[in-house]
Amino acid sequence: MLTPAARRTPRSGPEPIRIAVAVSGGPDSVCLLHVLRELAPKLGAVLSVVHFNHQLRGAASDEDERFVAEMAAALALPFHRAERNVIARKGNLEQVAREARRSFFLELLREGRADRIALGHTRDDQAETVLFRLLRGSGLAGLAGIYPLTAEGFIRPLIEITRAEVEEFLRSRQIPWREDASNRDPRFARNRIRHALLPQLSREWNPRISEALAHLADLAHEEERWWIAELPHLAPDFIHTSEGGIEARSDALARLPRAVARRLIRAAIAKVKGDLRQIDFRHIEAVMDLAAQAPGEGRLALPGVNVTRSFDWIRVALPRAAPAIPSVSAAVPGIYRSPDQMGEIHLELVKRGRAKLCATLKAELCWSRIPAPVVLRGWRPGDHYRPLGRSRDQKVKEMFQRARVPSWRRRSWPILTGGGKILWAKGFGVSADFASAGQTGPILRIWQADEAGR
């Protein structure tokens, strides 16, 4: 009765794998516990039983817990439990209960009390999940449904087994289980799908609708597996981490096949946000449209992330205040972290030319003409100076615009000052007033090491 994914669970070596079986008391989880108990010696596994009391049904919920605890004791298995009054919490009750339960299971994994959490989802659960997500307009990732094995450590050995087969197994062995009355409560969308919509579709459209939906989930899951393996090879060419967010060139995204661009956007959001919860098709399409529009400024506030367009760039970042950019009094010689976090700024005094390994020469200034103090900082509104080779003083903001520097990079743009006057700005060169050309005496050289090439 185990899926191939579940059969691959045992790890090599002498240590057995510790599987905590999540048992609610219902038929699916009770069946899972007894099947795994029979197979544990062959799997090289040791079992424990875990139960989460949602306190949804008062005394009935407590009876479920007692039933599971007694079953664990009868099977001589360790028992772990937790409880939470999910009714008292705000939000969708099904979602709140699921998150509370999941949090408990993840805690068991983090604390090392289990290597895997086994869940009793069946093919019927898979069909219900796929249909539910289809009705909500989910994309391929959502239609992959319930995964047999997840990176967090959840396994679902019964995912290819029907609910009818589960109950047949229990009856044939005279194993009791509990019936949860809330599983028929029409307030819950999943119950309406299970007891009304799926039976209607089976009667009027396809007697094997559950099997068809499960096959759809398998197809989508295989697509997801391919993308998960392929994206790490694609992503570095198009998206990269920078200054607390993920950036991509909008024109590069717009030229990609739409399927690839969507996946890269999803990957960027997931990396910044930590997950893709509440992110749906409409959100991804809105980012696609932002990338495809004429160069300019734009902004989207998505659930948990902000997406900004500036000139030729798209940036995905958390919606939080930008950190302050410190001003650093720079001793010469010295090495300092660049304000844009893109490497190090090296300052040195020399009398004649010499090479510096692992760094790029950015400027040479006449040291004797530089007023104190020397400060390394980010850009500030109103900054201006006359770059070498220019006939007049210019605002740095105007240089940003001509160079098409995205708005979010400007605050941390590296600028070196002396006595409050700009000596050098990254990308725009040395100040004509302090350039070393034709000057005698010590030279202040500015090198930038490990620059990311932007």
Distance CA 121, CA 425 (A): 60
pLDDT digits (tens, 9 = 90+) for 143-192: 889 999 998 999 999 999 999 999 999 999 999 999 877 777 787 788 89
pLDDT value, residue 91 = 64
Q: Which residues pair with 297 in a beta bridge?
A: 310
Mean pLDDT of the 48-73 span: 89
Among 215-229, 243-257, 404-418, 433-447, where is mean pLDDT lowest? 433-447
Q: Residue 347 is encoded by which pair of tokens?
A: 């300052």
Distance CA 108, CA 117 (A): 9
pLDDT value, residue 89 = 67
Instruction: Tell me: pLDDT of 54 over 90.
Output: no
* DSSP type of residue 13: S
Whether residue 247 contacts residue 239, with contact meaning beta carbons closer than 8 Å, is answered with yes
Return all residues near 104 (Cβ < 8 A) that are at least 6 apart. 50, 52, 82
pLDDT value, residue 386 = 95
Distance CA 361, CA 385 (A): 20
Q: Is 343 helix (H, G, I), strand (E, B) or coil?
A: coil
Whether residue 30 contacts residue 71, with contact meaning beta carbons closer than 8 Å, is answered with yes
| % of the chain at pLDDT higher than 90 | 62
Q: Residue 415 is encoded by which pair of tokens?
A: 């600028």
Distance CA 222, CA 242 (A): 32
Whether residue 436 contacts residue 369, with contact meaning beta carbons closer than 8 Å, is answered with no
Mean pLDDT of the 111-117 span: 93
Instruction: Tell me: pLDDT of 265 over 90.
Output: yes
Using pLDDT thresholds of 50, 70 and 90, give the confidence band for residue 352.
low
Distance CA 237, CA 243 (A): 18
* DSSP type of residue 333: S
Q: What is the DSSP string of 346-385?
A: EEEEESS----TT-EEEEEEEGGGPPSPEEEE---TT-EE
Instruction: For 397, list phi and psi in degrees, rounded to 5.
Output: -60, -40
Mean pLDDT of the 217-235 span: 90
pLDDT digits (tens, 9 = 90+) for 115-157: 999 999 999 999 999 999 898 888 888 888 999 999 899 999 9
pLDDT digits (tens, 9 = 90+) for 210-220: 999 999 999 99
Q: Residue 377 is encoded by which pair of tokens?
A: 């900082």
pLDDT value, residue 100 = 86
Instruction: Tell me: pLDDT of 359 over 80.
Output: no
CATH architecture entry for 238-317: 2-Layer Sandwich (3.30)
Instruction: Tell me: pLDDT of 358 over 60.
Output: no
Strands (E), 140-200: 154-155
Q: Which residues pair with 288 in a beta bridge?
A: none
Instruction: For 318, list phi and psi in degrees, rounded to 5.
Output: -70, 145
Using pLDDT thresholds of 50, 70 and 90, give the confidence band for residue 454.
very low
What is the number of other CB atoms lying within 10 angstroms of the CB of residue 186?
9
pLDDT value, residue 322 = 77
pLDDT value, residue 205 = 95
CATH architecture entry for 328-449: 3-Layer(bba) Sandwich (3.50)
Which class for 64: exposed (0-12), middle (13-18), buried (19 or more C-beta within 10 A)? buried
Overall pTM > 0.85? no
Mean pLDDT of the 77-93 span: 79
pLDDT value, residue 187 = 77
Mean pLDDT of the 300-304 span: 93
The CATH label, of 3.50.50.60, 3.40.50.300, 2.40.10.10, 3.40.50.620, for the domain at 4-214 is 3.40.50.620
Domain positions in the chain = 4-214, 238-317, 328-449
Mean pLDDT of the chain: 88
Helix ranges, 24-162 (H):
27-43, 59-74, 93-110, 123-135, 140-143
